Amino acid sequence: METWDVRIISASSVQDGEEPVVELFGKTRNRESITILAYGFKPYLFAVDPKPELEEMLRDDPEVLSFDHDRLLYKSEMHDVLKVTIKSPWKVSDFKNRFQRKGYKALSADISFQHRFFYDNDMGSCIRVTGERIDKPYFTDVVAKMDSFENIDSFDPGLKILSFDIENSVEHEFIYTICSVIKDGDEMRNANALTGTEKEIIDGFADLIRKEDPDVITGYNIDNYDIRKIMERSKANKMKDALPWGRDGSQPRLISERFWRVKGRLVCDAWWAVKKQLRPKQETLNAVSMMLLGEQKLDVDPKYMDSEWANDREKVIKYCFKDSELALRILLEVGTLRKDMDLAAVSKLTIEDVMTSGSSQLADSLLIRAADRNKVAVPQMGARIAGADQIEGGYVHSMKPGLYHWVCVEDFKSMYPSLIIAKNICFTTLCEDGEIISPSGARFMSKERREGLLPRILEDLMAERDRIKKLMKQTQDPHEHNYLDGLQAAVKVLMNTFYGVFASTFYRFTDKSIGAAITAFARANTIGIINQVESEGIHVIYSDTDSIFMQSPEHNLEGSVEFGNKMAERFSVEGGTLEFEKLLEPMFTHGMKKRYVGRIVWPQVSDELLVRGYEIRRSDSFDLQSDMLTDLFEMILDERNDEALAMVKSTIQSVKTGNVDISKLVISKSCKGLDAYENPDRMANVQAAKKMIAMGYDFIPGMKISWIVTDAKSTPQKVEPYISGTEFKGKPDYKYYAERLSQTASRITEVFGWEEKDLLMGNQQATLFGGRFDDSGASKKKKPIEEKPKAKMKSLDDFF
């Protein structure tokens, strides 16, 4: 027998003769790839309230291994159930359908065999395996039959990454070359460029994957282009099973038209990682490389790839290698793999599960384990219902426009989890005669009567997060600190997940009244605090689902900080610990909910403005819009109001005359697809995408398309795509952009009486706060609200 410490990358199942086998693919602490085979586990499901006729039906079925009676909590009541254990995992669905046709509810019938193995054995993402080496057809350093295992602390084995890119003919589509870059530990190196016939290139790439044995395959847009193109060209060359990339020699499989599965390896598209994590305005490889790495692609025009290849193959190969390298470095810079490993550790799942599954899979991993150990039934997942009634959200306390000083913001530490724990909110405690009554009317059993599974799980997660944070404070090692910080952030994400799935319509354990009860308790909590402090003369400026802003009665930093801390201590009660999060001096809003800007002066002074809701934070705004707003806010917060007005007018006039860097006018928006809209020809993003394709660039459904408006008056509006690093040859519609700027600025300046039309007329003479327009007799200026500190309180409910 040997022992290996393993980080599990992915899991699946196969049939070995009559025996179902769980396959665990991973990386050892010694950086060996490993396949672990677990024998002896059997699939099963339950039927609720079985009758003797069901047993008779099953008794002579050769697929049934056994059936046993048990009792489980189902819909708040204990029920008789029949546990039916069968031979083949893929036949669970057949038995479920048979049960349902006979009128029986089926339980635990939609859980994959490998996940059921994880849950029943309480397996985590990092394990110590004891077993023996065996000879099986897997392409890993070690193939072992598991004898036993134990969970161990999470560790990073250093995943080996292969990043690749292809270049192909524009005219004939055939592949010219595949170039790959390998990262193995601290080493980053180029593999040999693959050229020759398409068959030689495709076979050579499969050989390279087998030889290098990467844990991760990446590239930029490989999900939607490179992998599909290789498969397409293998079929065109009549090559059968030409992509044996899996660690068992299997072919890549496209799952739900969303992601690729290569057995035993992770397919992690750098484009998708960037899109999810950063949401950049421009998503091309060149634009993202400049943003994250300060580097550009090499100078090869993809529209003329055929002539580029004919004239200078080495130049194209260097270009292809550079694209592979940039994709790899982008993936590392974004940190997707590190974050997914952390989330896998706290959710007790494989890295692939975290990477490819939704939030319900994270919740399932902990809830199903707890349900099984507490004799609670596990129903099937429901269907997602479009347009289903949504539960009422958090309380919104409207705010008046103006400039406010010494604004305290309090944060409820994990408010929703705290409420769930304090009120014992759970699908196992929901009942008509519960002792705990929510403002929404739902009732829950007291903890003394029955402790809920969800509160218990959240208590454990909160304790674990506190433990990790304590270790962070103790360590002097910066690498250890960063590792622990990633873990505590993953715990926070997981805690957040539970409220999300319970507020959904589809989750297996959900009940609409549960999500409604949680938000009802939160609203009552927030409103109660606001009413109490306002009765004491403290000015509550604003609150929403996430926050409460209050004005300090003290006019200085020390006094405001003391006030903020006192408020936090005073209103920390069961169901929510209040934390003094930050102090703003000053803060401005034009009065719309979730729209404000301020300067953070505590706990640390920040050079950047805190901006919420305005175009400066929207990815579909153009840069000049964001820059102008930032300057406008800076001046308003400094009370340089006349200068602010002059700046806005000057910026608009410069645009009207074309005196502007056109890169500052780029608009970006996601495009679902060329035919994904009711009237695609009227959509600017579709128009730009089509023109971009005609220029020889890749288009990915769902990617952000960048363009500049050239004629806003025409129907539909005319636009030209903007490609970072490529000369833009169109002429912007400067009038359109000037009007956009005036619309944006007027939402702010109208507080002071300056409306959109006033900003577009650049010859007017007036201050931001007073006076009239030259001869026009325009509207009088409103006196802006300027709130000097009143009595104050602070409270922000950032629930997680």
In a domain, 749, yes or no: yes
pLDDT value of residue 384: 59
Q: What is the dihedral of CA 215, 218, 222, 224, to 10 degrees?
A: 70
771 pLDDT exceeds 50?
A: no
Q: What is the DSSP code string of 605-637? A: --SS-EEESSGGG-TTS-HHHHHHHHHHHHHHH
Lowest-confidence pick of 163-167, 458-462, 531-535, 674-678? 674-678
275 pLDDT exceeds 80?
A: yes
Query: Side chain identity at 179, as an amino acid letter?
Result: C
pLDDT value of residue 73: 96
795 pLDDT exceeds 60?
A: no
What is the pLDDT confidence band of residue 762, given thresholds at 50, 70 and 90?
low
Residues 124 and 181 in one domain: no
Indicate which CATH number applies to the domain containing 646: 1.10.132.60
pLDDT value of residue 279: 85
In a domain, 194, yes or no: yes
In a domain, 414, yes or no: no
Calpha distance 700→220 (Å, rounded): 11
In a domain, 282, yes or no: yes
Calpha distance 756→760 (Å, rounded): 7
Percent of the chain residues past pLDDT 90, beyond the cut? 71
Domain tally, the chain? 3
Q: Which domain holds residue 634?
A: 612-760
Percent of the chain residues past pLDDT 70, beyond the cut? 92
pLDDT value of residue 376: 97
For tokens 């959109």, the residue is 756
pLDDT value of residue 554: 94
Question: For 523-562, b where at least 16 C-beta lie within 10 A, e where not — what string?
Answer: bbbbeebbeebeeeebbbbbbbbbbbbbbbbbeeeeebbe
CB within 8 Å of 150: residues ≥ 6 apart? 127, 128
Residues 619 and 756 in one domain: yes
Residues 141 and 267 in one domain: no
Calpha distance 681→683 (Å, rounded): 6
Backbone torsions φ then ψ of 84, nearest 5 degrees: -110, 115
Q: What is the mean pLDDT of residues 283-291?
A: 92
**Closest listed residue to residue 356, CA positions, set 264, 255, 214:** 255
Residues 618 and 737 in one domain: yes
The pair of three-digit structure tokens given for residue 318, joined into one six-digit string: 């260097």
pLDDT value of residue 307: 94
534 pLDDT exceeds 90?
A: yes
Residues 167 and 300 in one domain: yes
Name the residue with higher pLDDT: 367 or 525: 367
What is the pLDDT confidence band of residue 414, given thresholds at 50, 70 and 90?
confident
For tokens 């005669």, the residue is 433
Q: What is the mean pLDDT of residues 464-484?
A: 92
358 pLDDT exceeds 90?
A: no
pLDDT value of residue 389: 54
CB within 8 Å of 675: residues ≥ 6 apart? none
Calpha distance 598→280 (Å, rounded): 24
Length of the chain: 800
Name the residue with higher pLDDT: 561 or 755: 561
pLDDT value of residue 621: 86
DSSP state, 665? G
Q: Say whether the peptide bond before residue 603 is cis (omega within 30 degrees of 0).
A: yes
| Sign of the four-CA dihedral 571, 577, 583, 587 | negative
Q: What is the dihedral of CA 566, 568, 570, 576, to 10 degrees?
A: -170
The pair of three-digit structure tokens given for residue 763, joined into one six-digit string: 């010859």
CB within 8 Å of 586: residues ≥ 6 apart? 403, 404, 405, 406, 407, 598, 599, 637
| Domain boundary residue, one of 306, 321, 339 | 306
In a domain, 121, yes or no: yes
Calpha distance 760→440 (Å, rounded): 50
In whole angstroms, how far apart are CA 635 and each of 599, 638, 787?
A: 12, 5, 17
Query: Given phi > 0 = left and psi -120 to 50 = alpha, else beta, which region is 309?
Result: alpha
pLDDT in tens, 174-197: 999 999 999 999 999 999 999 999
| Domain boundary residue, one of 272, 306, 340 | 306
Question: How many CA within 13 A on the CB side of residue 72?
Answer: 27
- Helix-, strand-, coil-residue percentages of the chain, each rounded to 5: 40, 25, 40
pLDDT value of residue 783: 42
Query: Side chain identity at 132, as an amino acid letter?
Result: E
pLDDT in tens, 31-64: 999 999 999 999 999 999 999 999 999 998 999 9
Residues 174 and 141 in one domain: no
In a domain, 462, yes or no: no
What is the pLDDT confidence band of residue 147, given thresholds at 50, 70 and 90?
very high
pLDDT value of residue 418: 87
pLDDT in tens, 633-685: 999 999 998 899 899 999 999 999 999 999 999 999 999 888 888 888 889 99
Lowest-confidence pick of 42-56, 373-387, 682-696? 373-387
Residues 85 and 190 in one domain: no
pLDDT value of residue 510: 84
Calpha distance 414→464 (Å, rounded): 13
Calpha distance 288→274 (Å, rounded): 8
DSSP state, 145? E
Residues 34 and 99 in one domain: yes
pLDDT in tens, 204-253: 999 999 999 999 999 999 999 999 999 999 999 999 999 999 999 999 99
Which pTM was predicted?
0.85
Asked whether the beta carbons of 705 and 659 are under 8 A apart, the reply is: no
Residues 143 and 185 in one domain: no
Q: What is the dihedral of CA 377, 518, 500, 154, to 10 degrees?
A: -70
| HEC assignment per residue over 427-460 | CCCECCCCCEECCCCCEECCCCCCCCHHHHHHHH
393 pLDDT exceeds 80?
A: no
C-beta neighbour count of 291 within 10 angstroms: 16
pLDDT in tens, 562-618: 999 999 999 887 767 788 999 999 999 988 888 899 999 999 999 899 998 886 767
Q: C-alpha angle with apex 769: 768 to 773, nearest 5 degrees?
A: 65
**Closest listed residue to residue 251, CA positions, set 240, 236, 241, 259:** 241
Average pLDDT, the chain: 90
Straight-line distance from the first to the last Cα atom of the chain, in angstroms, rounded to the nearest whole number: 45
In a domain, 255, yes or no: yes
In a domain, 35, yes or no: yes
For tokens 């909110």, the residue is 425
Residues 246 and 210 in one domain: yes
Burial class (CB in 10 A: 0-12, 13-18, 19+), 310: exposed
106 pLDDT exceeds 60?
A: yes
Residues 215 and 137 in one domain: no
| Domain boundary residue, one of 99, 118, 151 | 151
Residues 182 and 298 in one domain: yes
Give every strand in the sheet of 704-711, ordered side by side: 667-670, 704-711, 718-721
Give the three-state DSSP class for 664: helix
Asked whether the beta carbons of 499 and 799 are under 8 A apart, the reply is: yes
Asked whether the beta carbons of 440 and 516 are under 8 A apart, the reply is: yes
pLDDT in tens, 425-450: 999 999 999 999 999 999 999 999 99
Question: How many CA within 13 A on the CB side of residue 485?
Answer: 8
